[in-house]
Amino acid sequence: MMKAIVQDRYGAPDVLALREVERPSVGPRDVLIEVRASAVNSGDARLRAMRVPGGMALFARLAFGLFAPRRPTLGAELSGVVREVGSAVTRWRAGDEVFALSGMRMGAHAEFCVLPEDGCIARKPAGLPFADAAALAFGGTTALDFFRRAKLAKGEELLVYGASGAVGTAAIQLAHHAGARVTAVCSAGNAALVRELGADRVIDYRAEDFTKSDARYDVVMETVGALSFRQCERVLRPRGRLLLVSASMGQMLSAPWFNATTDKRVIAGPVTERVEDVEALAHKVAAGTYRAVIDRRYTLEQIAEAHTYVDTGRKKGSVVVTIG
């Protein structure tokens, strides 16, 4: 048996309950990870409440469960120690310290989580606390995937809207060290943080509307689902790219039209999670060019409080849950 957070319906944070459940079994090509830390990201909070971008509710319910999650334990990123491996596993051994994305499998808000051997698992950088490792992958892999699709190049001007969140803080670091010039849009209270991470310029969204400025960008990364292509079009240079990290169904369906009728591109749609990206993040941590930004830490028993805080939309970087 093990402790896990489960929910039997969609709703507010109080639908989450700590229960004793069966420990997951290990298949021939699976690894059992004893979870030391996980994170509550915006995706976890949206799925808990079935609060998804416009036009996607039916598709989300069909994918995750009509009236309650088919996988009742949420959590898509974690760090921990491999405790058991399947009979055919060659990549991992018991005792390996790792961090991982569980993705659609979820299950990270529990004492143990089973993942396939070839899943998005990487060795935890030596000396890095488990809490920090648990917050590396979600924002980092999202930023890497969108930058790859956008072909972000050295010397280009990038604007990150929602720059202080998990994706935004990762994007600033990765783009800065790739040689892009980064403008970060966030609240004035987070200006020092994003500058420390590598932003060359900071815009306080409460004081200035960047969509009405004279500045022009090669790439605009919109991380919070608050802006449209039409709002951002005028600040994009010819062949500029708009990255809609949290796109609505309408935005995804209309993207091909914008791409065909303008000299700019809209890039939207699900992130492709790659083990190579998780491993790349580990190397960047070891090289000192990437780190997790952690706002608050909670215990597994405080999971409802963690979700309540994430629901405010004001977190900086990640919210971490320590386990065990």
User: In the CATH scheme, what is the homologous superfamily, with its name and number, of domain 2-136+292-322?
Assistant: Medium-chain alcohol dehydrogenases, catalytic domain (3.90.180.10)
Give residue 102's pLDDT: 95
Per-residue pLDDT of the chain (324 residues; tens, 9 = 90+): 999 999 999 999 999 999 999 999 999 999 999 999 999 999 899 999 888 776 667 676 877 777 888 889 999 999 999 999 999 999 999 999 999 999 889 999 999 999 999 999 999 999 999 999 999 999 999 999 999 999 999 999 999 999 999 999 999 999 999 999 999 999 999 999 999 999 999 999 999 999 999 999 999 999 998 888 999 999 999 999 999 998 877 888 788 888 888 999 999 988 999 999 999 999 999 999 999 999 999 999 999 999 999 999 899 999 999 997
> Rounded to 5 degrees, what angle do the CA atoms 189, 138, 272 make?
130
Q: Beta-carbon neighbour count of residue 117 at 10 Å?
A: 17
Q: What is the pLDDT of residue 226?
A: 87
Q: How far is CA 84 from CA 79, 126, 131, 161, 271, in A?
A: 15, 21, 21, 42, 29
- Whole-number pLDDT of residue 255: 86
Neighbouring residues of 68: CB distance < 8 A, sequence distance ≥ 6: 7, 8, 9, 10
| DSSP 8-state code for residue 301 | G
Domain boundaries, the chain: 2-136+292-322, 138-267
Q: So what's the pLDDT on residue 269?
A: 86
Class of 138-267 in CATH: alpha beta
pLDDT for 55: 65
Q: Which residues have CB under 8 Å from 83's CB, separation 6+?
A: 32, 33, 34, 94, 112
From residue 296, alpha-carbon distances to 170, 197, 307, 308, 323 in Å are 17, 18, 11, 12, 14
136 contact partners, CB below 8 Å, separation of at least 6: 77, 99, 281, 282, 285, 290, 292
Looking at residue 54, what is its pLDDT? 65
Predicted local distance difference test score (pLDDT) of residue 302? 98
With beta carbons less than 8 A apart as the criterion, state whether 102 and 116 touch.
no
138-267 shares the fold of 2-136+292-322: no
State the pLDDT at residue 156: 98
Are 98 and 20 in contact by the 8 Å Cβ rule? The answer is: no
Hey, is 133 helix, strand or coil?
helix
pLDDT on residue 260: 87
- Cα separations in angstroms, 111 against 5, 151, 202, 306: 9, 39, 40, 17
Gap between the Cα atoms of 239 and 257, Å rounded: 15
What does the pLDDT read at residue 129?
A: 97
Give the Å distances, CA to CA, from 245 to 50, 258, 307: 18, 17, 21
Cβ-count burial of 209 within 10 angstroms (0-12 exposed, 13-18 middle, 19+ buried)?
A: exposed
Bridge partners for 80 per DSSP: 35, 98
